[in-house]
Structure 1
Amino acid sequence: MSVDLISRNADLRRLDEEGFVLEIRDGFLLVHDIPYVRPNQTLARGMFACTLSLDPDGNTVSPLPDHTMHFAGEIPCNRDGSRLEAIIHSSADNDLSETIKVNHYFSSKPEITGQYNNFYDKVVTYEQHLGGAARSLDPSANARTGVKISAVQDGSPFAIPDTGSARYGLAKVSRKLAFAKVGIIGLGGTGSYVLDQLSKTPIKEIHTYDGDQILNHNLFRSPGAPVPDRARSFPMKVDYYASVYSTMHRGIVPHPVNVEEDNIDDLAGFSFVFVCVDKGRSRETIARGLQRLGIPFIDTGIGLGLERESLDGVARSTLITPEMPWAEVCKLLSFGDDDEEDEDHLYKAAIQVADLNALNATLAVLRWKRWAGFYRDNRNEVQSVYTVEGNFLSNREGEQ
């Protein structure tokens, strides 16, 4: 339960001060010890669950966008044991997350506005529906028990409650992305966009590797707008982005070094790695090391050049798994530094722009999510290549 979140929001704080048993977990507001009447006309206690609606600063919004409420318990009834048909929308066992299981779904709109002004009004109204019937049998039946749930961290890597997964019913499937340690090698344009997307997933630790400073040109192919106070002193890329994204994700671990042969073993034990480098020789060193360590990874690449005053090229995303033969890896990845070996090569300028960096990162993250089971993955492609001319996306399946 987040004591800070409750204490700084007047509606939640009022519920807490009046003795309601509150808990915030997996992006939901839980209210325990709700008295109700069972079908056999005996009393029991259940639990309310509703999604938290917060603004970017962690403040509850008003009015609330959702008037419904979940309930964990048996069928709530009137004094005579008949169902509370007035508020029960449906009854079915449902897992809101791995740790939150409910049995009923309520719907009761305020008559005039159709929306609850705050969580206090919503919780009190629903408690009156259930508790009123309970108190007709026992006047002491009250949800305001004053019990306090221990204020411990729920282990979430997020710096703010994940109300997005709760709102759209994705808490359970999102757990498939709760990897222990994921690495991003290279925090240039593509790597920074990868970090932007991974910071919204429940990965426990995101380790970033890059030995360069953040400079002005980097900011023009990176997500969001610069934070002047943090960028003014030319920090290392990994330190800058760790600072920026710490407001979303707690577990970002910066490593201000390039990954090379002498430190590749530092990645032993990682669950997955995104490789976002632009040098073929570095790519080969990293690929060989990750294959030896048995770590699956996605390699990204952009080839973009200026031809007749227009840009043309490709963005590539390639999945490499430990069981792939090295010969197949060599067919999928380019290990030559073309910009050094062929002055007339289309991609000699190593041009990058924000939109292709973002697309390249999105292709990589989408492939990882399919590989992890978050998205359906029946085709199991190993490589996707987007071609600018023609807006064409081609996929390549792995060797059988």
Structure 2
Amino acid sequence: MSADLISRDPYLKRLQEEGFELEIRELILLIHSVPYVTGDMLLGRGTLVCTLSLDTEGLTSTPQTDHTMWFTGEMPCHRDGSPMTNIINHSAEATVGSDIKVRHYFSSKPEGTGQYANIYDKVVTYESHLGSAARSYDKTANARTGIMLASTEDDSPFAIPDSASSRYGIVTANRKLSGCIAIIGLGGTGAYLLDLATKTRVAEIHIYDDDQLLNHNLFRSPGAPELELAKDFPRKVDYYATLYARMHYGVKPHPKRVTDDNIDEFADYDFVFVCVDKGSSRRVIAEGLVRLGIPFIDTGIGLGVNENILDGCARATFVAPGTPWKDVTTHLSFGDDDEEANVYGTDIQVAELNSLNAIMAVMRWKRWLTFYRDERNERNATFMIEGNNITNRRI
């Protein structure tokens, strides 16, 4: 994807054609071999570093949204050895992305709008700041070395460039969300779960459901429906796999119900989200996942209506590997005829409660993986509509 971006983007391509040593890692641009003057009034070479902002077509934004640069070398100086305080905002060791070590942070706004018209102008300007001093010692000192670097192809599962992670400084945190996960049930909550999961770096997202996509399903799923895909009443998993292939390469559909006969295939997954409303199915899935030692989150919503006012709850129960079965049964209902099952089986669902239930589950999963801080370590969380509150309990 990195090499493809350079070939498609006219400004990056121009930089490369002029001889700049470009490398792209996780949508972070590195310009290597930039000449500069050290504090000892010697020539050195360092690397300019900046995150890339992209437009809706996946090309570098015009104008640029950020006017700053990082630098990896020693303190860059003028010809007389005095630091370039005109462009140095501050100097401190830092890490950009997951592993790019930098030492200086530059800030040099262009006159007028304060924004560079494009990435080409930005790179050339910063190279000129450093290189002009270097060329006063050696006229041949230039970042245009003509060396063609093979841009690093990262292991991104995304079908579009992930410009958000580098932009917001969460590359390392996002890499904690890896491996293969599964979502059982693509009703309202499961569909929202899939939407959120496709924004993460998990390698594969396996989705299980044997139902067809019907019109009422579209009113409790994220986004506007793709009517062309939905017109022939496809299986839910096939519809969503096609839809989200635009975002994530790893969505794998399984148009089948999870039973005793196939539960063992979940041994290949790192985490499972369970979004079913039938108690007997929940028992089969929970027993199997506990036996296999696979961590999972079981979700559920219960809504009732009285005098045209809806009330109820949304629940997310986390079961870690090694959890005793008696603790699992504390919060999960497995009967199809008991009181709780009747509440969960009323079949009243609304998009906002489905989406909230999915958010509760995804955030608990991310805290399990230390993407978010977790000081409570709750195993069951229940949101109550009437009080607008979430109660947390440890199993």
TM-score class, shorter-chain normalisation, is: over 0.9
CA contact (8 A) 2:23 2:152 kept: no
Aligned to 1:138: 138
Aligned equivalents of 2:86 and 2:182: distance in 1? 52
Residues of 2 paired with 1:376 and 1:343: CA distance? 32
1:301 deviates by 0.4
**1:345–1:205: structure 2 CA closer, same or farther, 3 Å change rule?**
closer
The equivalent of 1:33 in structure 2 is 33
From the superposition, tell whether residues 343 and 156 of structure 1 become closer, same or farther in structure 2 (CA, over 3 Å). closer
The equivalences for 1:1-400 within 5 A come to 2-151=2-151, 153-177=153-177, 179-338=178-337, 345-398=342-395
Q: Deviations over 1:100-141 (max 9, x none)?
A: 221111100012111111101111111101111111111111
Task: Tell me the SS of whatever aligns to 2:166.
Answer: helix
Q: Which letter maps to 1:143?
A: A
Is the 8 Å Cα contact of residues 39 and 77 (structure 1) preserved in structure 2?
yes
- Which ranges of structure 1 fall in alignment gaps of 5 or more residues? none
Q: CA 1:160–1:348 in structure 2 vs 1: closer, same or farther (change >3 Å)?
A: closer
What one-letter code is carried by the residue in structure 2 that aligns with 1:387?
M
The one-letter code sitting in structure 1 at the alignment partner of 2:4 is D
Output one character per residue of 1:48-77: Cα deviation in whole Å (capped at 9) or x when no partner.
221211123212222212111111222222
Bigger Cα displacement from structure 2, 187-196 vs 20-29: 20-29
Alpha-carbon separation, structure 1, partners of 2:211 and 2:57: 32
User: How has the CA–CA distance of structure 1 residues 73 and 311 changed in structure 2, closer, same or farther, with 3 Å as cutoff?
Assistant: same
Aligned-residue sequence identity (percent) comes to 59
- C-alpha distance in 2, partners of 1:245/1:42? 54
Q: Distance in 2 between matches of 1:253 and 1:151?
A: 29
Give the counterpart letter for 2:23 in structure 1: E
What is the SS of the residue equivalent to 2:134?
helix
CA separation in 2, counterparts of 1:165 and 1:125?
Answer: 26
Cα distance in structure 2, aligned partners of 1:199 and 1:345: 32
SS in 2 for 1:381: coil
Aligned partner letter, 2:323: M
Distance of aligned partners of 1:305 and 1:255 in 2 relative to their CA distance in 1, 3 Å threshold: same
> Are the counterparts in 1 of residues 24 and 151 from structure 2 also a CA contact under 8 Å?
no
TM-score normalised according to structure 1 size:
0.94
Distance in 2 (alpha carbons) for counterparts of 1:215 and 1:46: 58
Query: Against the structure 1 CA distance between its residues 146 and 234, is the aligned structure 2 distance closer, same or farther, given a 3 Å change threshold?
Result: farther
Output the aligned Cα RMSD.
1.7
Query: If the length of structure 2 is used for normalisation, what is the TM-score?
Result: 0.96
Q: CA deviation at 1:9?
A: 2.2
Over 3 Å counting, the alpha-carbon distance change for 1:345 and 1:211 in structure 2 is closer
Per-residue deviation, residues 135-191 of structure 1 (Å, max 9, x unmatched): 1111111111222222553111112222111111111222222x2111111111111
Q: Write the letter of the residue equivalent to 1:390.
A: G
1:317, CA displacement in angstroms?
Answer: 0.5
Tell me how many residue pairs correspond in the alignment. Answer: 395
Secondary structure class of the residue paired with 2:372? coil
- Residue aligned with 2:142, SS: coil
**What is the letter of the counterpart of residue 375 of structure 1?**
Y
Q: Distance in 2 between matches of 1:272 and 1:123?
A: 43
User: Equivalents in 1 of 2:54, 2:232: separation in Å?
Assistant: 33
